[in-house]
Each structure stands twice: as C-alpha cells, then as structure tokens.
Chain A
Amino acid sequence: MASRYPPAWLLGTAGLSVAKILENMEIGHNVLHGQWDWMNDPNIHSSSWDWDTASTSVAWKHSHNYLHHTYTNVVGKDKDLGYQIMRVDPKQPWSPFFLAQPAINVLLMVIFEWGVAFHDLDFEEILKGRKDKKILKEELKGIAQKARRQIVKDYIVFPALSGRKGFKRTLQANLTANIVRNVWANAIIFCGHFPDQAYTFTEEEAATESRGAWYVRQLLGAVNIEGSDTFHLMSGNLSYQVEHHLYPDMPSSRYKQIAPKVKAVCEKYGLPYNTGPFAKQWLMVQRTIVRLALPGGKERPKAPPYVAPPAVEAVRPTAPAMGGPVPAFP
C-alpha cells in the first residue's frame, strides 16, 4: 500500500525477492527432495508441498528428483534444463539453432521459473512423438492451473489491495521480485553443473556403472560454490551441490557438517572436490554458453585430485577469564 513511495517500494521489493528466494531454494527445493519428511508433518512433506513458483511440484519431482538426480550429467539422459535447450557440453552435437544461445540464455535468466515449468514436459520426447498424449494433457492442465493461481496472486490480487493508485507500482514490485528470484536461481543452478570443473558422461559410460561409480559420477558432475553462511542459506545450500548430489534427501543444514568428511574421502581415493568462488564459477558458465553457441569446442581442464591444505598449527588466543585456551568449535 505504500508502494507509491520509492524507499518503501524498494524495501518491499527487496523483502519479497529474498522471501521468494528462500521459499523456493532453501524451503521448496529441499522439502520436495524429502529432506524434512522425517518430521512426519503432513503439511511439510514432499508428498504435499507446493512452492511459490510456476512449476508444479508433481512434474518437478519427476524431472528433477528422478531424472536429473539419477542421470546427473549423462549427456542425452540428464533432462536438466541446460541440456534440453542449450549446448553446454562439447559432446552435444551443434546445430544452427545454438547460434541464438547467448540471447536465449539472457531470456532464460529472466523467465527462469517458466522455463523450469515447461521443461518438465520434456520437449525432446514431445518432438519425437514419444510422449503419451493423455499424460501431456494432464501436465499442461497442471501448469495452467498453477500459472493461473500464481498470476492472479502476484499480478492481480496484491496490486488490487494497493488501491487504484498503487496498483501499477505493486505490480511492478512483484514482477521485479519474481525476476530477481529467477536470475538468482538460474545463476546458482547453472553454477552447480556447468562450470569447467564438472565432468560429463556418455550414456555408454553410465549404462555399465557400478553402485560405487554412480556416487563417483555424482561427485564429479557437481560443483560447489564457496561463500558465507548467508550465501549458503540464500542458495538453498545448493552451494553444497556435491554433498547434495551424494545425499539428496539429507536436510540441507547438514551439508556443511559433512563437507569435511566428503573432502577426506576425495583425498583418500585421489578424487577431485569441485569448488570455486561464485563470481569465477558464474563467469566460467557464461563463457561456455557463448563459446558453445559456435561449432566445436573442447573439454576444459578438470580439477586435480583433492589435497587438504597443510594443517596450520592453530595458535588459540588465551582468554584470561577462562584461565586457559579457548575451546575450539567443532
């Protein structure tokens, strides 16, 4: 209602953006993975949760939880969004369509939630005529219903509550917040699997893999992002992409705690632990998207096996009041 006053507009829009990001990434994504099913709360459960974004939870659980998390980075089988409409790996054959990739990329950042909603339909299967018509119809109906509710809420009901004079400003605020969320989610998600360090796999490689090899593929195909605790929270702990892919249904707040153990396993078996700072990772992804719009391209160098940094003998400050060294935090 105060959306006509610029500082209030800015504050409200920023608040809504943060809320949507937290709702989608830290809550929605993780609840839908079943990370909180152990609570036995029927209203906070992967079977009943729905999130504040365009895609329906049912379709997303199939395309993401099942297809993406099972066939992670297997070119041709991983139906994660990047692979369906973009060329993000040199193994994918080039076609003139990909010349538009840099422009599509920018557009996708802005309308990301709708991209995710429609990608669940699986264009490839539709184009090949392999998709069951009845299922397609049901899924389209689901999207239409979800879209209607989302649009009515964000672009009609709340603007209307601001009165005739505030309608437009509130509508703009909601649109901005949705776009901020879209751009942020797109950035975090693309940094999870498309930076240079991530390995990709062929269908033949994945077809014969053992259970152990499946975990190695998850480890090699995912990339973490370094950052502060606030950054991890705002990314829904997807910045612990490696840990998330190893244990998709572990509560996200635990990923930070298990990271040292995962690193230790990497070191023991000479495996890389893919990670990097956010800006660097994001720029790498953008470079790949622009480069692979053109034919050709070669594999980028991968990270070497993980080696723990040499342990520095920590000199703990002495707190006189406690009469001894400050206990280390676990």
Chain B
Amino acid sequence: MVERAAAPKIPMLRRRLLQAARAMTTPLLPDDYIGLLDPRWSTREATGSIVRVVPETDDAATVVIRPSHQWTAHKPGQYLRVGAEIDGRRHWRAYSITSDPDHPEQLVSITIKRVAEGLMSPWFVRHAKPGTLVFLGEVEGTFGLPDPLPAKILGISAGSGITPLMSMLRELDRRNGLDDVVHIHSVRTADRFIFGDMLRELAARRPGYTLHERLTGEHGRITPDELDDLVADWRERETFLSGPREMINALEAHYLENGSEDSVLHVERFQPVIGTGNASVGTGGTVFFRVQDVEAACEVGVSILVGGERAGALLPYGCRMGICHTCVGRLRAGQVRDLRTGELFTDEGQTIRTCINAPEGPIEIEL
C-alpha cells in the first residue's frame, strides 16, 4: 500500500464537473490529465509550493509552503506529513508545523533540522528551491494548547523539540495569551538555537514570557531537580514537554514522583512505543491478513502490526508510532480501535495504519 496525500477541499461545483467528465476519461480521472499540465491543479491530492527556505541555524531551516488548495487549519503543536519527489521517488516525513494557524498570507511552515545521514531533511535544508512541488498529508497530533488557555504555562524543550512549541508561542502571542509563560530550552551552543533570535526578542517584548536558555555544551543537560530553582511553582503550571526521549522519560518520572495531583503534563514524543499491549481500552480480536494469508490474535492493546509479526507475517512498517504511514493497509472487514485516542473506526475499504490500530473483534486487512 502506498502513501497518499490528503484529499483537498474542493468546491462542490468543481467536483461535480470533474465527476461528469469522468465519462470521457475512464478508467483514468480528469485530474490525471489536468495534473499533467500542472500537478498543483489536480484535485486528487493536496499539494503545495515551496515559497522560500529560510535558514534558521547552520543545519536547520524553515520551509514556507503555499498550499494549492484551501488549507485545513491546524492547531498549534500539531505536525504535518510532507511528501516530495527526490530522484524520481516520492518520500514522506512528518514535521511539526511552526507557523501560526492564522497566517496573514495563508502560508504554512515547517522547520527541519538536518540529519546528516537522512534523506529528506538534507534535501529540504540544502536543496529545496522556491517553486518546488510538495505533497501535503493530513495534519495530525494531539499535542497542543487546551481551550480555554491555561493561566500558567511551562514549556520545556530541547534541540529541534522547539518546533511544536514555536507555533504554540506564536498563537499565544497573537491572542495576547503570554501572561505567565516560562520556557526552558536546552541546546548545545547558542548558535544552534533554532528560533533563538525570535524568542529572545519575544522575551524582551512580552514581560509575561520568560526564556531560560540552557547551553548543554557548557553546563550539561538539565536535571529534574534543577526545576525547583528555575521555576519554583512548576507544580501549578500546565507543562508542555518536547524533546528527546531521555529528557522526556526523566521529567515524566519526576512529575509522577514529585508533582502534585493537579500537575498537567503534555508530552510530544518523537519516538514513542505504542501497540505492544499497555493500553486498557477495547476488546482485542483476531486479524486475517489477506495477502499474507496469516491469521493473528491480538490481546487488548496489541496493534495489528505487532500481532501480525508475532504470528509470523512479514509486514511493512516505519516509525511504529502512526506518523510515517509506511504500514497502511486497507480494512476489508471489521472494526479497529486507535490505540492513541481509543476511538473506534469501522470504515471498511479505508486505509488504516497497522501500528496504531488494534482489532476490535475479528477483522480482515489487505496490505
């Protein structure tokens, strides 16, 4: 199963006309022909053009994109899957959106730190040019500001983990919600601080926003017990955590042990592990893999992917956290439960991700 961009929002009249024109183009779609003139005109997949690539540090850049169709507003903190063609192949990655949802020119930006051995991040940071076509996937993610806004906020980020916090800070700034926000950001050296200048300027302009820069190259990593010195009232703040796994695990443990009952912690994990049986919602079930001809049993909280692998099926996967969509298959029968949200889906014929969905009773899947 191959990954596809989101379906763009198309005005009713245009959709009707395209539908009618199918009689002439079947088995292809009118969009197949329109897309030959300019892929951005196709209504099959959401696309966008790179407007500019703004260097943030030596190895990070913000890619500003103009969506070809009406943009489904994101919530600050969410991420976007972006596809691009590199050497004739289409690749997909998920990046946190760093722009404010209410951008004056309807532009969307993602900020990318170059991973030297990676494929897409070097391409975006070094090679992508204005005008380049990109494919836009769904906006996803549950990390974000609650409504109504919390009175006191603490943001703890490290490295490129700044990205989801950036769009949240932008929204707070626009909505005049920066009344009492403390932000601790860890970075190896000052020149690697993505959005460093912007945030220092924000701290100077908004008295309600306090920025603590921790240069780990000089002072080492922040430890949980330093929290009391930096933010004495951390227990009363709604906290947003975004960064590498070790930092999150250490702070999460610290919150569990030393936090008060009302401490609210939001976490953006870039590499969480889900689907191996730690959830408590749902019934579990059996999965029949049509192509592999394998039947697997999944107990409660076990994802289709893990259950299938345990039964010996060779299944595709990428990130195992629902972001990359490498593992998608078509649900042919039955219903599944999203292990992240607990929601049930019964859309037979739709594609689902095997790594974050568990069977609810018997299901059949084709991938």
Question: Quick check: A158 and B24 within 8 Å, CB to CB?
Answer: yes
Question: Quick check: B89 and A52 within 8 Å, CB to CB?
Answer: no
Cβ of A193 within 8 Å of any chain B Cβ, yes or no, is: no
User: How far is B23's CA from A45's CA once the two chains are assembled, in angstroms?
Assistant: 22
Question: Quick check: A153 and B23 within 8 Å, CB to CB?
Answer: yes
Question: Quick check: A51 and B89 within 8 Å, CB to CB?
Answer: no
Which residues of the partner chain A approach B35 to less than 8 Å between Cβ atoms? 43
Question: Quick check: A42 and B3 within 8 Å, CB to CB?
Answer: yes
Cβ of A152 within 8 Å of any chain B Cβ, yes or no, is: yes
Give residues 16-56 of A contacting B (CB, 8 Å). Answer: 37-43, 45, 47-48, 50-52
Cβ of A268 within 8 Å of any chain B Cβ, yes or no, is: no
Question: Quick check: A51 and B3 within 8 Å, CB to CB?
Answer: no
A-B interface pairs (CB < 8 A), number: 46
Which residues of the partner chain B approach A158 to less than 8 Å between Cβ atoms? 24
Which residues of the partner chain B approach A131 to less than 8 Å between Cβ atoms? none
Cβ of B118 within 8 Å of any chain A Cβ, yes or no, is: no
Question: Quick check: A38 and B89 within 8 Å, CB to CB?
Answer: yes
Interface size class of B (residues with CB under 8 A): 10 to 19
Question: Quick check: A47 and B2 within 8 Å, CB to CB?
Answer: yes
CB distance from A186 to the nearest CB of B (A): 21
Which residues of the partner chain B approach A41 to less than 8 Å between Cβ atoms? 2, 90
Question: Quick check: B27 and A40 within 8 Å, CB to CB?
Answer: no
CB distance from B164 to the nearest CB of A (A): 27
Question: Quick check: B26 and A150 within 8 Å, CB to CB?
Answer: yes
Question: Quick check: B24 and A157 within 8 Å, CB to CB?
Answer: yes
Which residues of the partner chain B approach A40 to less than 8 Å between Cβ atoms? 2-3, 89-91
Give residues 60-78 of B contacting A (CB, 8 Å). Answer: none
User: How far is B23's CA from A192's CA once the two chains are assembled, in angstroms?
Assistant: 34
Which residues of the partner chain B approach A157 to less than 8 Å between Cβ atoms? 23-24
Q: Report which residue of B3, B26, B90 has the largest number of chain A beta carbons within 10 angstroms of its beta carbon.
A: B26
Question: Quick check: B27 and A45 within 8 Å, CB to CB?
Answer: no
Give residues 18-51 of B contacting A (CB, 8 Å). Answer: 23-28, 32, 35, 44-45
Question: Quick check: A52 and B91 within 8 Å, CB to CB?
Answer: no
Question: Quick check: A37 and B24 within 8 Å, CB to CB?
Answer: no
Cβ of B88 within 8 Å of any chain A Cβ, yes or no, is: yes
User: How far is B24's CA from A153's CA once the two chains are assembled, in angstroms?
Assistant: 5
Q: Which residue of B lies closest to A53 (CB)?
A: B27
User: How far is B230's CA from A61's CA once the two chains are assembled, in angstroms?
Assistant: 64
Q: Report which residue of B3, B5, B27 has the largest number of chain A beta carbons within 10 angstroms of its beta carbon.
A: B27
Known contacts: A37-B2, A47-B1, A47-B2. The answer to whether A42 contacts B23 by CB under 8 A is no
Which residues of the partner chain A approach B32 to less than 8 Å between Cβ atoms? 43
Which residues of the partner chain A approach B90 to less than 8 Å between Cβ atoms? 39-41
User: How far is B24's CA from A42's CA once the two chains are assembled, in angstroms?
Assistant: 22
Cβ of A149 within 8 Å of any chain B Cβ, yes or no, is: yes
CB distance from B87 to the nearest CB of A (A): 10
List the interface of chain A (C-beta within 8 A of B): 37-43, 45, 47-48, 50-52, 146, 149-150, 152-153, 157-158, 161
Q: Can you list 27 A-B pairs with a CB-CB distance of less than 8 A? A: A39-B88, A39-B89, A40-B2, A40-B3, A40-B91, A41-B90, A42-B2, A42-B3, A42-B5, A43-B32, A43-B35, A48-B2, A50-B27, A50-B28, A52-B27, A149-B23, A149-B26, A150-B26, A152-B23, A152-B26, A153-B23, A153-B24, A153-B25, A153-B26, A157-B23, A157-B24, A161-B24
